[in-house]
Amino acid sequence: MDATIAALLTQDGLTNGSIYCLLALALVLVFAVTRVIFVPQGEFVVFSALTLAAFEQNKLPGTVWLLIALAAVAAFADVLSLWREPKRMLRSMAGTSLPAALAALLVWGVASAQMSFAIQVLATIAAVTAMGPAVYRLAFQPIASATVLTLLIVSVAVHFVLTGLGLLFFGAEGVRTTAFTSESFTIGSVSISGQSLLVYAFTIFLVIAMGLFFKFTLFGKALRATAANRTGARLVGISPNFAGSLSITLSAAIGAVSGLLIGPIATIYYDSGFLIGLKGFVGAIVGGLASYPVAAAGAIFVGLVESFSSFWASAYKEVIVFTLIIPVLLWRSFTTTHSEEE
């Protein structure tokens, strides 16, 4: 391997690592607030890429039907559980079914009017983000106080359901979206693609934005408070459902952006989400599902390992990446003290 190849692999690794980094941060966020190991994180990435691809091919994205289905089932669940309290029922619907239905309308409008690329991108982010509250409402709100194991099992189930819905609404074909830019720059003998730079820039921007959100906004502090002390949070009036829904919605938004970033780099199928999410998960595990900076660094490391192992032993790429988790778990089991589940 010479320096040029090493530089290329590094660039590749950093690009993928940046995306895993975003996913790792989303996983840490959702786990800290809800104790859910959010397996379906990758599905948001996939739905985002598939939605934008459908826009580009002038087709109506399957997202419309997916959103309508989520909105309808969430509304039905609200009617079933809250029909005695119409006010609360309407409030719950306004937070879950309504955004999903509006997003479906938006996607339909943007697709049928064949609007510009920028608007398609924004509609994609809105559509995938709007899935967050409905997924929380349907899958996790009813069992919010269950054990971590139960939450994990449901999380796996949600992953399978969403993958199945992905196949139903988007079909089995793989897609690649157009790159945001085809520019490339040369430094010495190494060329750096504009898309990679864009990925880095977006990642840095999102990481900083998340940091500011948690540090300075009321809702950001409310999420930190819920993660730190659930009872304390309830006592100041932060509803665990509000915090849970907000955290999964944020993670859906992060998934949507990640999907837009990864779409031009890799071919995305309806079931690609699991592997992408799992690599974010390895990063999150490095941070013990608790530390944002360590999770971010871990995820970027995962990207680099993946890229270099695809050069040296491409057949074993995934094996090498996922084997990373074993030394990390060993190290963590020796260095962290066991804490009892609440």
Partner 1 sequence: MSEALLEVSDLHVAYGQVEAVRRVSLSVPTGKIATVIGPNGAGKTTLLGAIMGLLPSHGTIRFAGERVEGYDTEALVRLGMTLVPEKRELFHEMTVLENLELGGFSRRRSGESRAALLNTLDEVFALFPRLKERQPQLAGTLSGGERQMLAVGRALMAKPKLLLLDEPSLGLAPLITRDILATIAKLRDTGLSVLLIEQNARAALKTADYGYVLETGELSLQGNADELLHDERVIATYLGKR
In order of 10, 78, 198, 306, 312, the CA distances from 4 in angstroms are 10, 58, 21, 18, 15
CB of 240 to partner 1, least distance (A): 9
CB of 332 to partner 1, least distance (A): 20
Closer of 80 and 218 to partner 1 (Cβ): 218
Dihedrals phi, psi of 113, to nearest 5 degrees: -90, 0
Buried/exposed 321-342: b ≥16 CB within 10 Å, e otherwise: beebbeebeeeeeeeeeeeeee
8 A C-beta contact, residue 196 and residue 184: no
Distance separating alpha carbons of residues 253 and 125, to the nearest angstrom = 6
51: Cα separation from own chain's centroid: 15
Closer of 174 and 240 to partner 1 (Cβ): 240
Closer of 34 and 163 to partner 1 (Cβ): 34
Closer of 59 and 88 to partner 1 (Cβ): 88
CB of 231 to partner 1, least distance (A): 5
CB of 71 to partner 1, least distance (A): 24
Close Cβ partners of 242 (under 8 Å, ≥ 6 residues apart): 222
Closer of 221 and 317 to partner 1 (Cβ): 221
Largest Cα–Cα separation, the chain: 70
Query: Residue 338 has which token pair?
Result: 């066991």
CB of 340 to partner 1, least distance (A): 15
Closer of 8 and 225 to partner 1 (Cβ): 225
Distance separating alpha carbons of residues 264 and 261, to the nearest angstrom = 7
CB of 287 to partner 1, least distance (A): 15
Q: Which string of DSSP letters, residue by residue, matches 178-218?
A: PPS---EEEETTEEEEHHHHHHHHHHHHHHHHHHHHHHH-H
98: Cα separation from own chain's centroid: 21
Query: Where do contacts with partner 1 occur on this chain (CB under 8 A)?
Result: 218, 221-222, 224-225, 228-229, 231-239, 242
Closer of 184 and 229 to partner 1 (Cβ): 229
Distance separating alpha carbons of residues 117 and 168, to the nearest angstrom = 25
CB of 290 to partner 1, least distance (A): 11
